[in-house]
Structure 1
């Protein structure tokens, strides 16, 4: 098992996110444990299970066999793909960990239990603060653990706060105390294999930004407060949705050219105009956006990550401008490397 991991990026399993993981240094993959969300395709598959074959091959190509990866299959409510997908992962010797939650039906939980027994890597339970606040939550967790036939020490818990937003009435400090209250109501808090706080303050869209702006990384500061205050009880790890909104929606519209660039406490946004509007230069806008970023003192340099290298090369005309998927890869790859560097700095003596 990858015992030294410190970070769980939650990723929708789309081409941009796959390319971001594929271009991470191998060493970084020992310190991150992604939770990837399987998004059922809308296209008709030629054969039953073909989409699962494709999904697993993508994991092999993007992540590899050296480190575990958490696989969230509960987003497809029409069927239960758990055992079919994990059978394929097992055949390729990939280190998958199944994700479940208290609201999944019994057949799903029994499938997760079967996978955990077969693979010996336990499971991940993903919980929301609203679920913790429900009357009977402790009983629900007890019933789930019986179904999974696992001890707390074999289970990772992610408390996923989803989209968070600071208002004058709910600042970082108050949100931190609220989250500590939720964690205090988590049964076996000190006994789980790991406990992770995850959230995202990234907005649903960037329509309000013209040119350049920053968006506070609220979840990072909430986590730092929570982790510091609970350190005497147990380590609380960090998770987020990288540079993306916590609630997924399929938006076919290409939108405006933009670069999402992670900084210490914020995302720097460089935003142009519609890529579908030829009068604005289409994807060619990314050359000027990249030039603006590499001239910015907050730019980390071409050697920081694959994403940073791509920005540098785009600014200098050494690579093409790509498309929206390309720039999702660039922003996600930079973000993961940046968070890992932040965590390493915090843990340094």
Structure 2
């Protein structure tokens, strides 16, 4: 099956999620790691990172959480902040931590001699990021020639940020872009990336909201519409999240909403807790809502589902905003890999957990006093 290409910010929640999901799921994922803009506060540090920290901390995190498999590193949002010298330090450090790490270049970067130093020895040697409305195959090929890399050794990420996925017939336009790129050269892979998730949380306090995954439907329809072999086109999204990377900052900082985004067939279910009161109570309510929604896929679906199960039953702590993001992403990535695999008849094992213990009665049963089970007790994850 074709690998899944999620766009992941190099932040605590995303890095932890991809490191902890099941190994057979991991093997089907080739993420595009995006370094957030330099002014964003880093959850682990509690402040924005310095240029040196971006260069070295990025490599350390990738080495810790994704050391062995193919991945792509996109530094476009910090490139001007780091400069060419900082970029060389960044990619040298990161590629030392993971020898299969592929540098992502914008089309302009292809003409920067600095990026020639980031080419891998084997395919894919480099990746190109191009917004869908700025596809210029002639300039891309000129850039590839300048960089010294053959198209067949290159992955192209076509980003459909802000594309009107809900528009009827949009798949025809997406298919035309696939055809245009494929007609220009033989590429290692063309990857679709996009999201229908809004920039702001759509659920109200103590409410739910269902966000249709239009990006999945459009991708599926475009594959059938275009003339490119499905084996050459990969699927990617931004998880249950917006494709926006640069978010405007509110004065004083934004307070994270207490919520979980739960991917199900065709949509993302957003469940938001109370904005007031104890966080533990609010998140327990959130998880209970998922458990009783009829949409819960089972505690063995992923380790994130086990966390939802345990919190909803009051056995685990409510976690932190980074952990909620982690669980959102872990469940989502697991779901998408299973969904892609199902299209080719490939299945993946579900997780294993110890059954909840049952409290035996100290008294013999009688017809007047039917036996019952005591409270469930978690004994494994």
TM-score tier after normalising by the smaller chain length? 0.7 to 0.9
Q: Structure 2 regions of 5+ residues with no counterpart?
A: 40-46, 347-381
Q: Judge conservation of contact 1:5–1:30 (CA < 8 Å) in 2.
A: no
Q: Relative to 1, partners in 2 of residues 1:253 and 1:326: Cα closer, same or farther, differing over 3 Å?
A: same
Q: Which residue of 1 aligns with 2:73?
A: 71
2:261 alignment counterpart: 260
Alignment of 1:228-243 (within 5 A): 228-230=224-226, 233-235=229-231, 236-243=233-240
The corresponding residue for 1:83 is: 88
1:283–1:323 Cα contact (<8 Å) kept? no
Of 223, 226, 230, 1:227 maps to 223
C-alpha distance in structure 2 between counterparts of 1:59 and 1:242, whole Å: 18
Unaligned stretches of 5+ residues in structure 1: none
Does the CA-based 8 Å contact 1:10-1:36 persist in structure 2?
yes
Judge conservation of contact 1:259–1:331 (CA < 8 Å) in 2: yes
Distance in 2 between residues matched to 1:19 and 1:300, nearest whole Å: 21
Q: Provide the residue aligned with 2:303 in structure 1.
A: 306
TM-score w.r.t. length of structure 2 = 0.80
**Aligned 8 A contact 1:37 1:73 in 2:** yes
| Higher strand fraction (1 or 2) | 1
Give yes or no for contact 1:164–1:218 (8 Å, CA) kept in 2: no
Q: Give 1:103's aligned residue.
A: 108
CA drift at 1:346: 0.8
Aligned to 2:357: none
SS in 2 for 1:162: coil
* Residue equivalent to 2:320: 323
TM-score when normalising by structure 1: 0.87
Distance (whole Å) between structure 2 residues aligned to residue 229 and residue 40 of structure 1? 36
2:377 — aligned with what?
none
Query: Using the alignment, how far apart are the partners of 1:98 and 1:209 within structure 2?
Result: 39
* Alpha-carbon distance, 1:179 to partner: 0.7
Shift of 1:124: 0.8
Aligned CA distance change for structure 1 residues 288 and 188 (closer, same or farther; 3 Å): same
Change (3 A) 1:70 1:166: closer
Stretch of structure 1 that moved more, 152-161 or 206-215: 206-215
Aligned to 2:43: none
2:25 maps to: 28
Which structure: larger Rg? 2
Q: SS at 2:133's partner residue?
A: helix
Aligned to 2:355: none
Q: Does 2:211 align with 1:215? A: yes
User: How many aligned residue pairs are there?
Assistant: 330
The 3-state SS of whatever aligns with 1:71 is: strand
Taking a change above 3 Å as real, the CA distance of residues 44 and 24 of structure 1, as seen in their structure-2 partners, is: closer
Q: Conserved in 1, the CA contact under 8 Å of 2:182 and 2:228?
A: no
- CA distance, structure 1, for counterparts of residue 170 and residue 204 of structure 2: 26
Residue 189 (structure 2) aligns with: 194
The equivalent position to 2:175 in structure 1, one of 167, 177, 180, is 180
